[in-house]
A and B are shown apart, each in its own frame.
Chain A
Amino acid sequence: MQLNSGNGACLRQTLATLSLGLLSATLGEKTDRAYAQAQSQPDSPSGNSGQLIPTSKELDSSILFYQEANGRVRAIEPALQYTAHGPDSQTFNLGVIADSVTGATPNGAVPSDHTQTFVTPLKAPGGSSTTVTSASGGSTVIHLPPTPGQIAAAALGRQYTTPPGQLPVDRGFHDQRYGVNVGYSQPLGEISLVGFGGSYSIEHDYQSISASANIAQNFNLNNTTASLAVNYENDSSFPYGGVPTPLTVMTPQLKSVSSRGRSRIDIVAGLTEAMTTNWLVQLNYSYGISDGYQNDPYLIVSVVDPVTGEPNVYLYENRPTSRRLQSIYLDSKVDFGPSVTDVSFRYFMDSWGIKSTTVQVSDRVRLMGSLYVEPEIRWYQQSAANFFHNFLVTGQPLPQYASADSRLGQFVGLTYGMKLGFDLTRSTEIYLRGEFYRQTGNGHPADAIGQLKQQNLFAGVDAAYGMIGFSWNFD
């Protein structure tokens, strides 16, 4: 058997030339749309479409430092997240997180041109006075006048003061939280992905437990993914000193109710579409129902004199026990080759009257082979809840609900951030992230009375945070 090739590797060279010729000739041409679309016909002989799976396991560890301006809240949050991928698109993840939050947090009261004194229950676990030394975080332990029917050991309170013209803050704020989360997902029969998850976190005065389920279906040759997720969360609040009765006067006495609960269900429907080979668009709609105790048990509202604006008394806040939340999220990610640009928009509204809009733009640019930067800017605007009051006025009818929590008020938040990532090796990356966050709001509302006209009533924050993380991919 012989070939028309003559001697030594001649046929091979001819074949190489022919093959390259074939490929370059056909690649120069547009592909036939008819056949490019024929692939999506359901009766195509090979209906199995692809699935993207990372083959590696990943361990991600990070620590986050958060600091608010004017010596307010400071937080440290270490986290560890492990993700493993099985051969058939199974994904398992397990994460642990801890955080330690200390510092001063606004208590809801308005500033005054006099020194203000606040007395609250002791943060002594179990009501024992032996764990309390004397002063803690700028507050003092005081002996309360005996109350009929109350045992003597409980007759201790914690008192702190706010100088004239300053925003009242409670410096005794201290929290430690530990959380764990676990999740698993895999394809199931005709369904592209089915997953379940759960999480648990505990603090001194708060506990949260949640369970979630989600399904996702790819179609249109994996160019489209529809997903549905349900999350159920049950929270318990067991504040120091017990649960205060809403809209009653702030007192240091222990409350008879020790805990209150809240449950919340969220449903998120999502659609992800690969518009072109380098443009991804995602649309999410979420609906949440939250029922139960929604108050912050430590927050108060000042009731001021109708003429002078001086606080007469402080009432514990009250929020509706029911809340319905909706949001729409639209995200577009375009790969321009050297950079990946992400633009997202979110609109949120709830039954409390809060409407918020978020616009976020980030751009990931690879500078050198192993270094990338990702500058980011985020604009957030929210309207106030319809029961938000900077203060209440003596003599006016008491509203059913009232809160002076600045997070329920109207404000604009602006975030500038930068992330920097560096591949140490092919399988390890170190990343740094820094953000500055600034809230602005109206500190001089038109309805300010008397001395309040001279005070800045806006209690929003300026904050900065930094994060350093290390991730490791391994087989």
Chain B
Amino acid sequence: MTKSKIGRLLSAGSHPAVATAATGGPAADYQWFFRAMATPCEVRLECADPAIAGAAARAAEAEARRIEAKFSRYLATSVIGRINANSGNETEVDSETAHLLDFASRLFALSDGLFDITSGVLRKIWRFDGSDRVPSPDRVQELLPLVGWQNVSWKPPILKLPAGTEIDLGGLGKEYAVDRALHRIGEITAQPALVNFGGDLRVSGPRANGCSWKVAIESVDRAGQAEGLLEISEGALATSGDARRFLLKDGIRYGHILDPRTGWPVVDPPRSVTVAAQTCVEAGMIATLAILQGRNAEAFLKQEQVRAWCIR
């Protein structure tokens, strides 16, 4: 910025006695990007003050990182890492973990065992890398005894997994992080905000101009290509299914959604299901349950009277 001549007129101590151009325009649309939970994350804020926008975005990022550090199954230091390492024995968990386990337990019951946080162990044999490496039925049978929340002893706050069983909150954590992060932003500023962690998102409300937020949704065929724009002015959107994760053998496409009861991919699920709901956790759970219905996904969504978009 070119210095003001008037500043020079007033003192010799290089002091800007007269401030030059004022800062702080109208509410700017700030975007904050980072990577957490193995996915690109985005926070958008309509806030005139960059300091506040930055503080709010940092708080959202910190919340995402906290949840990742606490619940990632890939981290031995996480609560989940400790629980899994301690399978066969009792582990006492903290209150937040207990609430999440309660939630997962209720969902297991509601879904007749379709939603099962112990199913992650099946990924050891199912690698959805676009190849044709479909595991043998024997291998699936070998692992199946390790799967099943019904075998887990959960007497809050004490959790005891059967030896060899592992839990994974991956189907829940990202959505939970979105809701929590938005709440953190709300503690700092009431300005309109959007939190989008890898396509699961929630907004604080409409934008400052009363319009809805426009969110690009990804094409199922060409990674990174925007399929179209979704508009959202309240609540949350969550997507289940991932076009890039599948196996293809003998003309059969094996999606990455596994039925924990059989150990095999769900038959003919939509490639992705996007659901609108009040919270991101709710949207995510409906989307997951829908895709677990396989070819009945659309019927399920219709029955539940959910605003949803399926891509097959």
Contact = CB atoms under 8 A, between A and B. Distances in A.
Chain B CB within 10 Å, residue with most, of A1, A79, A180, A325: A1
A177 B5 contact: yes
A413 interface: yes
A350 B13 contact: yes
Given A55-B31, A437-B17, A385 B62 contact: no
A348 B6 contact: no
A113 interface: no
A236 B100 CA distance: 70
B200 interface: no
Interface in A86-111: 95, 97, 99, 101
Interface stretch (A35-43, A160-168, A240-248): A35-43
B30 A66 contact: no
B116 interface: no
Contacts of B41: 50
B32 A19 contact: no
Nearest to B236: A19
B15 interface: yes
A20 B55 contact: no
A77 B289 contact: no
A332 to B, nearest CB: 11
Contacts of B208: 426
Contact of B14 (A49, A73, A288): A288
A311 interface: no
Interface string B154-169: 0000000000000000
In terms of DSSP, what is the predominant structure of the interface of chain A? strand
Interface string B237-255: 0000000000000000000
A39 B15 CA distance: 41
A380 B281 contact: no
B13 A356 contact: yes
A26 interface: yes
B125 interface: no
Interface in B1-51: 1-2, 4-6, 9-15, 17-22, 24-38, 41, 43, 49-51
B59 interface: yes
A23 B179 contact: yes
Contact of A179 (B2, B70, B278, B279): B2
A274 interface: yes
Nearest to B65: A39
Interface stretch (B136-144, B217-225, B299-307): B299-307
A8 B303 contact: yes
B103 A348 contact: no
B51 A335 contact: yes
B278 A16 contact: yes
A51 B33 contact: yes
Interface stretch (B72-80, B83-91, B226-234): B72-80
B279 A12 contact: no
Nearest to A58: B25
B66 interface: yes
Interface string A345-365: 010101000101010000010
Contacts of B278: 16, 19-20
B55 A419 contact: no
B21 A469 contact: yes
A64 B282 contact: no
B114 to A, nearest CB: 8
A52 B50 contact: yes
Given A64-B6, A75-B6, A405 B12 contact: yes
A59 to B, nearest CB: 9
Interface in A432-471: 433, 435, 437, 439, 461, 463, 465, 467, 469, 471
Interface string A1-45: 111110111011011101111110111010110011011010011
Nearest to A41: B69
B6 A77 contact: yes
Nearest to B24: A421
B106 interface: yes
Given A1-B294, A62-B21, A36 B61 contact: no
B18 A465 contact: yes
A221 interface: yes
Interface residues of A, number: 114
B44 to A, nearest CB: 8
- B12, B99, B304 — which one has the most chain A CB atoms within 10 A of its CB? B12
A25 B19 CA distance: 49
A134 interface: no
Contacts of B176: 22-23
A19 B172 CA distance: 11
A333 B293 CA distance: 53
A62 B18 CA distance: 15
Contact of A50 (B9, B20, B32): B32
Contacts of A207: none
A45 B10 CA distance: 54
Nearest to A369: B208
A222 interface: yes
A54 B31 CA distance: 6
Nearest to B182: A23
Contacts of A232: none
B289 A11 contact: yes
B25 A471 contact: yes
B74 A354 contact: no
Contact of B99 (A26, A280, A350): A26
Contacts of B193: none
B51 A325 contact: no
A181 interface: yes
B31 A181 contact: no
A3 B209 contact: no
B17 to A, nearest CB: 6
Nearest to A378: B17
Nearest to A319: B12
14 contacts: A3-B289, A3-B300, A11-B289, A16-B277, A19-B277, A25-B99, A49-B61, A53-B30, A340-B52, A407-B11, A413-B10, A429-B26, A439-B10, A469-B22
Interface of B: 1-2, 4-6, 9-15, 17-22, 24-38, 41, 43, 49-59, 61-63, 65-70, 72, 74-75, 77-78, 94-96, 99-100, 102-103, 106-107, 109-112, 114, 176, 179-180, 183, 187-189, 208-209, 277-279, 281-282, 285-286, 289, 293-294, 296, 300, 303-306
Interface of A: 1-5, 7-9, 11-12, 14-16, 18-23, 25-27, 29, 31-32, 35-36, 38-39, 41, 44-46, 48-56, 58, 60, 62, 64, 66, 73, 75, 77, 79, 81, 95, 97, 99, 101, 175, 177, 179-181, 199, 201, 221-223, 274, 276-278, 280, 288, 325, 327, 333, 335, 340, 346, 348, 350, 354, 356, 358, 364, 380, 382, 385, 405, 407-408, 413, 415, 417, 419, 421, 423, 425-429, 431, 433, 435, 437, 439, 461, 463, 465, 467, 469, 471-473
Given A19-B281, A39-B69, A177-B5, 7 more contacts: A8-B305, A46-B37, A50-B57, A56-B29, A201-B2, A335-B55, A469-B21
